[in-house]
Amino acid sequence: GQQVMQIPQYQHVQEGEDFTTYCNSSTTLSNIQWYKQRPGGHPVFLIQLVKSGEVKKQKRLTFQFGEAKKNSSLHITATQTTDVGTYFCAGLGGGSNYKLTFGKGTLLTVNP
């Protein structure tokens, strides 16, 4: 079945440093979604990417979808302590228009 790999598993940064997490799918995706989960919380939707090569920005966050629609990345510029949490990518594909396959997530911690 479809698998979504995400690296790194953990990332610890100093406040102000940049952060990137990478996501790779075993199959071509129809779209990819990113979620953030704060410690003790539930996944909160951040963004959806649909088009090949798509780049979207949300303030300090930049999301990219690869040309082959199999990989994606999330980059945070100048991290803040409020960015702490686990970032998940979730792919929609394999002929399904509803079944999300999540990566294991990247836990980001920020040292003030």
Instruction: Give 66 or 105: the residue with its C-beta nearer to other proteins.
Output: 105
Question: Distance (Å, rounded) from C-alpha 21 to C-alpha 88?
Answer: 9
- Pick 13 or 47: Cβ nearer other proteins: 47
For other proteins, which is the closer residue by CB, 19 or 35? 35
Measure the CA–CA gap between 95 and 45, rounded to whole angstroms: 22
Closest contact distance (angstroms) between CB of 18 and other proteins is 23
CB of 45 to other proteins, least distance (A): 5
Q: How far is the CB of 106 from other proteins (least distance, A)?
A: 10
Burial of 4 (0-12, 13-18, 19+ CB in 10 A): buried
Q: Which is nearer to other proteins, 10 or 80 (CB)?
A: 10
Q: Do the Cβ atoms of 15 and 80 come closer than 8 Å?
A: yes
Q: How far apart are CA 103 and CA 29, in angstroms?
A: 13
Give the position of tokens 């970032």.
87
Interface residues with other proteins (CB under 8 A) are: 4, 6, 9, 33, 35, 41-45, 48, 88, 90, 97-105
Say if strands 71-76 and 85-93 run parallel, antiparallel, or are unpaired: unpaired
CB of 35 to other proteins, least distance (A): 8
